[in-house]
């Protein structure tokens, strides 16, 4: 079943799960920040290609949206995860929180296109792609303002969008299904759907 017409009010359980996902991925973000910095050299031959790694940063927003299925889940979780990474010493400082909000808002927009009724792979892929577009455009304008649109910024954005579509969008679906298979999501629609298949 791909439709969710249940109550859209947040439960305490929804908030707890969003917070747990945010904290876990805040730690992942901090590790990923170090990996990103460490791979600048290997990607020097074509710097925009580094954005192939971008999708990891959007996984918590897609994952929480797929699990919680409430408006605002992607935005809340991504922003909170970014805040956790800042508390852990993100090299991007407080700006990372704004960046997380932009990423989460992009993913949120992807799910909003179905009015929060569709949570299948196509919608998740769209959400990942829209989130990736918002995130890489933010980067292009803020972090790479002097680079060429043709040779750097547009390729960086295109590769980043593809990464977010696959890693965050479809990867989020796979991760949700894996979690549902363990039974930990039985109190959520994603868990009940897997149980009924």
> 55 and 164 in contact (C-beta within 8 Å)?
yes
Distance separating the N- and C-terminal Cα atoms of the chain: 9
| pLDDT by 10-residue block (mean), the chain, 197 residues | 57 96 97 93 95 97 97 98 96 95 98 95 98 98 96 98 98 96 90 63
pLDDT score, position 1: 39
Q: Nearest Cα to 58, choosing from 39, 31, 81, 40?
A: 81
What is the reported pLDDT for 72?
Answer: 96
pLDDT at res. 193 = 74
What per-residue confidence (pLDDT) applies to 83? 97
Query: What was the pLDDT predicted at 109?
Result: 97
Give the whole-angstrom CA distance, residue 2 versus residue 190: 10
Strand ranges in 37-137 using DSSP code E only, listed in sequence order: none
What pLDDT is attached to residue 7? 58
Query: Which has the closest alpha carbon to 163: 58, 73, 83?
Result: 58
Cα–Cα distance between 82 and 73 in angstroms, integer?
14
Q: Which helix (H) or strand (E) holds 157?
A: helix 154-163
């Amino acid at each position: 079943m791909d439709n969710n017409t249940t109550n859209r009010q947040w439960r305490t359980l929804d908030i707890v799960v969003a917070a747990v996902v945010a904290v876990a991925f805040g730690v992942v973000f901090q590790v990923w920040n170090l990996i990103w910095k460490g791979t600048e050299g290997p990607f020097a031959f074509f710097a925009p290609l580094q954005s192939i790694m971008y999708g990891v940063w959007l996984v918590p927003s897609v994952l929480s949206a797929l699990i919680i299925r409430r408006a605002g889940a992607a935005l809340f979780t991504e922003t909170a995860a970014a805040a956790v990474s800042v508390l852990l010493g993100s090299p991007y400082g407080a700006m990372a929180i704004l960046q997380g909000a932009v990423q989460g808002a992009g993913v949120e927009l992807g799910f909003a296109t179905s009015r929060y009724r569709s949570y299948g792979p196509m919608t998740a892929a769209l959400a990942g792609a829209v989130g990736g577009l918002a995130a890489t455009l933010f980067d292009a304008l803020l972090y790479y303002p002097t680079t060429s649109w043709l040779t750097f910024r547009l390729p960086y954005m295109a590769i980043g969008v593809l990464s977010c579509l696959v890693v965050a969008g479809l990867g989020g679906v796979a991760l949700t299904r894996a979690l549902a298979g363990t039974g930990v999501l039985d109190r959520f629609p994603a868990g009940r759907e897997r149980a009924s298949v």
